[in-house]
Amino acid sequence: MGETEAYYRDKCAVITGGASGIGLALAETILSYGAKTVILVDINEANLLRESERLNAARPGQTLGIRCDVTNEEEVKGMIGQAAEFGAGRIDLLFNNAGAGFGGQFDKQTNGDWEKAFALNFYGAIYGIRSVLPVMRAQGGGHIVNIISGIAFYPMAQQTMYSATKAALNGLTLALRYELWDENIRLTSATPGTVATAIWGDTEAPPGSQSPEESARMILSGVAKNERLVFGDETDASGSRSCFNPDAAKAVDDYLLNVARKRRRGEWAV
């Protein structure tokens, strides 16, 4: 057994946005690594029922599906309570994965739109962290993984809400990493990389996109090493190195301006 697999063996993991895409791939991969229990959390009841039944058919009694709106703090508290009960009092890993892309032109977005974006992509994670901390403290530690995006390092035109919410989530994660370090509670930010999932909507995923399963394996490998930032692919890693590097400013400006102009013409570019 490799080091990555050993890290997840016999553990209890909670995954929000767990009934599809990267969340589901994380769940399946963690189970294949020998996790004891996995809790799928999702707002889509049909997907939740289908996937939890499928996973339990393969590994009876190891998966629980919980319907939860992560933008509602009371629902998140209740979900964490159910998850801990299913995990025999433990939650070793929390993956705050639920989120959405939130594109559109800034001038057409209302305060209500911004509130919805932050409710899902930012406050949903805060509610999860706040609710799981008592469980992790009581058991002597744990690991919280917040799924951000490469957009946090390469903010793009017509994705202002997505860029802002994921950058905020990254800042929260890294600050809390050191605040909670001495309590043996680890925190990691992870980007999925460019992945072919439903987040692209009616737009075809970019050429070379990886599968959710490939992304999940990359994320789980970095988490097992307690990496501060896990990058789902080299594009995200490269973007993080260059976006705030003064020596690369001209190239970054040129690239992002080109993307903005194409999008203004109705050409979706990345």
Number of domains comprising the chain? 1
One-letter amino acid of 5: E
Give residue 268's pLDDT.
Answer: 75
CATH number, position 124 = 3.40.50.720
Does 69 map to a domain? yes
- Which is the catalytic residue, given 7, 162, 178, 255? 162
**Each residue's pLDDT expressed in tens, for the chain with a length of 270 residues:** 699 999 999 999 999 999 999 999 999 999 999 999 999 999 999 999 999 999 999 999 999 999 999 999 999 999 999 999 999 999 999 999 999 999 999 999 999 999 999 999 999 999 999 999 999 999 999 999 999 999 999 999 999 999 999 999 999 999 999 999 999 999 999 999 888 766 656 666 666 678 899 999 999 999 999 999 999 999 999 989 998 899 999 999 999 999 999 999 988 777
The answer to whether residue 224 sits within a structural domain is: yes
Tell me whether residue 257 is in a domain.
no
Q: Is residue 256 part of a domain?
A: no
Burial grade of 266 (CB within 10 A; 0-12, 13-18, 19 or more): exposed
Closest CA to 147 of 179, 177, 173: 173
Identify whether 260 is part of a domain.
no
Q: Is residue 152 part of a domain?
A: yes
Domain, as residue range, for 92: 3-245
Q: Can you give the pLDDT at residue 196?
A: 72
Whole-structure pTM value = 0.94
Per the annotation, the verdict on 162 as an active-site residue is yes
Q: Residue 209's pLDDT is what?
A: 78
Q: Is residue 202 part of a domain?
A: yes
145 bridge partner residues: 95, 188
What's the confidence (pLDDT) of residue 206? Answer: 66
Answer whether residue 269 is part of any domain.
no
What is the predicted pLDDT for the residue at 56? 97
